[in-house]
Chains A and B, each alone.
Chain A
Amino acid sequence: MRESRFSPFGRFRRSHEFWLLIVILALCASLGVANAQFLTMQNLFDLLTSYAFVGILALGLLVVLIAGGIDISFTATASVAQYVTLSVANAYGANWISVFAFAIGIGGALGALNAIFIQKLRIPSIIVSVATLNIFYGLLIFFTGGKYIYSLPDWFATGIFWFEFEWGKDTSYGVNLQILALAVSFLVTWLLLNRTNIGRQIYAMGDNADAAQRLGFHIFGLNMLVYCYMGVMAGIASLVQAQLAQSVAPTVLVGKELDVVAAVVLGGASLMGGVGTVLGTFLGLALLAILQNGIILLGVSSYWSPFFVGSVILISVSATAWSQRERRTRGARA
Chain B
Amino acid sequence: MSNASTLSLRGRLIRLAGSGTIATLILLLVALWVVFAIAIGDRFFSANTLQSMAFQMPELGILSLAMMLALLSGGLNLSIISTANLSGLTIAFLLTRYIPGSQGVAWVGVQVLAIAAGFAVAALVGLVNGFVIAYLGVSPILATLGTMTLCKGLAIGLTRGNVISGFPEPIVFIGNGTVFGVPFALIVLALCALPVALMLNATPFGAKVYMIGSNEKATRYSGVDTRAVLLKLYVLSSLLAGVAAVVMLARFNSANAAYGESYLLVTILAAVLGGVDPFGGFGKVGGLLLALIILQVISSAFNLLNLSQFLTLAIWGGILIAVAAVPHLGGKAPR
Contacts and interface: CB of A to CB of B under 8 A. Distances in A.
B320 A310 contact: no
Interface of B is mostly: helix
Interface stretch (B3-11, B36-44, B216-224, B321-329): B321-329
A91 B150 CA distance: 44
A266 to B, nearest CB: 8
B234 to A, nearest CB: 14
A258 B145 contact: yes
A252 B153 CA distance: 20
B228 to A, nearest CB: 17
29 contacts: A122-B334, A124-B279, A124-B324, A127-B324, A128-B324, A130-B272, A131-B317, A131-B318, A131-B321, A133-B317, A134-B269, A134-B314, A135-B317, A137-B310, A138-B316, A255-B262, A262-B149, A265-B141, A265-B145, A270-B139, A271-B141, A303-B156, A303-B157, A304-B156, A307-B157, A311-B150, A318-B136, A321-B138, A325-B137
Contacts of A309: 149, 153
A135 B154 CA distance: 33
Interface string B62-102: 00000000000000001000000000000000000000000
Interface in A196-254: none
Contacts of A320: 138
B219 to A, nearest CB: 18
A134 B142 contact: no
Nearest to A117: B321
Interface residues of B, number: 49
Given A133-B265, A310-B146, A325-B137, A305 B320 contact: no
A305 B153 contact: yes
Contacts of B308: 141-142
Contact of A121 (B157, B269, B324): B324
B132 interface: yes
Contacts of A40: none
Nearest to A306: B153
Q: Which of A117, A127, A128 has the most CB of B within 10 A?
A: A127
Contact of A122 (B150, B278, B328): B328
Nearest to B319: A131
A321 B131 CA distance: 12
Given A122-B334, A307-B153, A325-B137, A138 B269 contact: no
Contacts of A141: 308, 310
Contacts of B137: 321, 324-325
Tell me whether chain A's interface is mostly helix, strand or loop, or mixed.
helix
Place the interface of chain A in its size category: 35 or more
Nearest to A258: B145
B17 interface: no
A308 interface: yes
B161 A134 contact: no
Q: Which 7 A-B pairs have the closest CB atoms?
A: A307-B153, A138-B314, A310-B150, A310-B149, A306-B153, A134-B317, A314-B146
Contacts of B208: none
Nearest to A128: B321
Given A121-B324, A130-B269, A307-B157, 5 more contacts: A121-B329, A127-B272, A262-B149, A305-B153, A307-B150
Contacts of B225: none
Interface in A88-133: 117, 121-124, 126-128, 130-133
Contacts of B328: 121-123
A317 B146 contact: yes
Interface in A250-284: 255, 258, 261-262, 265-266, 270-271
Contacts of B160: 301, 303
Contacts of A137: 310, 313-314
A269 to B, nearest CB: 11
A310 B265 contact: no
Interface in A133-171: 133-135, 137-142, 146
A304 B279 contact: no
A72 interface: yes
Contacts of B154: 307
